[in-house]
Structure 1
């Protein structure tokens, strides 16, 4: 399922255990042991009182020199409430798992990243009882690849660059390099990364256009949701305005939206089809076919 932009910002680290170590090294010059594995923890920090507190993505990192917890938080905009909750998250996880806790905040805007970097002091300013200093990853410190070859050398980091630079004017170039880089990894991994959540932005439209303009081996996963959604919409609208007519229109719209040529003869054949089962099959094929002949099985 296509993920929301906020979910993508923190879940990418859960999917790739090595990305956290690479990010610390590349952005902050901090070297940590390469994780041997990670364990996704329960994100619920709720106590007995009816007040929910949940970390976005807490993970237990198992490394040769000792275990530690990383709490990944996605932050789209400044939020004063988070400056009270982050120290709680850190304290709670430290107490529960009895090991070091690292707070990592991932942002899509430079202004939000700058806000998040301010240390949080609990107690007297002159002598704080607790200080929480988040490690912040954002568009102002995540470099973008300069070529498809460079993007392919570290695909997870390229995905992170695309996520954090989602509001950049040159996001199209980053996404084109990412699209090429995804062809160098296995299809399941590429399918996971291809579903990056870019929100309601120009970046999202650019990514969809890229996926529609060319045939990539990992598109099948990416388009699964659109196929299911298209079928459901076609059936529901068909009940109201003529099921066959709307299903035929869905097939034609999907083909043309992906840049597939439809001749006048082929259009007439699709529109004149009165078999809803056949139209459903055509709609499924239209999501991945490179020609209308493939859809019609000519």
Structure 2
């Protein structure tokens, strides 16, 4: 059964068919014929043989005169499937014969292992002919860490986050795509973020959760609502409260240390009771007052008044 990720990538190319030839030119450096339009067409590839072959998507590129100049078969592949090595040549042959134009297979495979498998040459017989799929995988899709670039190439940024989200620059890649997704409508943005989130491993999820938490604590603009919905709110609140409490405790401890250091410099001795009173105090205003009292005080009682 097709997954959310599978359907989302298919819809990405269905709704923006210009992406396919754009990627062929920019990522694979293919000399795509001049064309004026790109259209989605029927993807059922029935033949006389009573077996139906159905590609995920078939796109047609036509020139200004309406002449068909290239067909692109888009396939989304999340795992290895030996049958595809037999069906992809069928797709190309059928589309080429039916449409009388050059035809290529463009495979979207975010996983490195699956991408390497999909990119293998397919020998159609005794080495006399082969098919070379073009594969959008981690080796081809760049790491997009610049938010401005992500906004300009949003779909590529989504592919980048899925392919590289768990890598060394994963957090920067995800941050960049979040800026781009924030400019999309909520429905599409939420779906894209869902497939990115689903692909993140636990360390990167925790890093993203920490990023959200820090922005909340520092009062910065929160991340888009679809991010907040997917990341467990209770967990975030717990992390947020924990960090705030930790920051508060650190500040209080710093005040206590300052007070004790000033008392020692002033030569004011403390009894066990007075020392315990200082250690038990957790009110920052009180500690600040005691620090101010050290100046000119002769006894601990004057300081702790």
- The answer to whether the superposition gives a TM-score over 0.5 is yes
Hey, what does 2:140 align to over in structure 1?
141
TM-score, normalised with respect to structure 2: 0.60
- Distance apart, 1:37 and its partner CA: 3.6
Tell me the TM-score normalized by structure 1.
0.61
Selected match of 2:87 from 85, 88, 93: 85
1:9–1:163: 8 Å Cα contact kept in structure 2? no
Moved more, 192-201 or 106-115: 192-201
Q: Confirm whether residue 51 of structure 1 aligns to residue 51 of structure 2.
A: yes
Tell me the CA shift for residue 116 of structure 1. Answer: 1.9
Out of 84, 103, 106, the residue aligned to residue 104 of structure 1 is 106
Equivalent residue for 1:60?
60
Count of residues in Structure 1 that have an aligned counterpart in Structure 2: 229
CA-based RMSD of the aligned residues comes to 3.9
2:224 is aligned, of 207, 216, 219, to 216
* Structure 2: distance between partners of 1:18 and 1:4: 22
Instruction: Quote the offset at 1:186 in angstroms.
Output: 5.7
Unpaired runs of at least 5, structure 2: 217-221, 239-305
Secondary structure of 1:20's counterpart equals helix
- Rg larger in 1 or in 2? 2
| SS of residue in 2 equivalent to 1:28 | coil
What's the counterpart of residue 6 of structure 1? Answer: 6
Contact 1:172 1:206 in 2 (8 A): no
The alpha-carbon distance between structure 1 residues 170 and 146, as it changes in their structure 2 partners (threshold 3 A), is: closer
| CA distance in structure 2 between the partners assigned to 1:35 and 1:193 by the alignment | 29
CA distance in 1, matches of 2:232, 2:195: 21
Moved more, 195-204 or 151-160: 195-204
Q: Which has the higher contact order (CA 8 A, sep 6+)?
A: 1
Instruction: Name structure 1 gaps, 5 residues minimum.
Output: 227-252, 261-298
Q: What is the Cα deviation at residue 33 of structure 1? A: 5.5
The change in CA–CA distance for 1:200 and 1:32 in structure 2 (over 3 A counts) is closer
Q: Distance in 2 between matches of 1:189 and 1:36?
A: 27
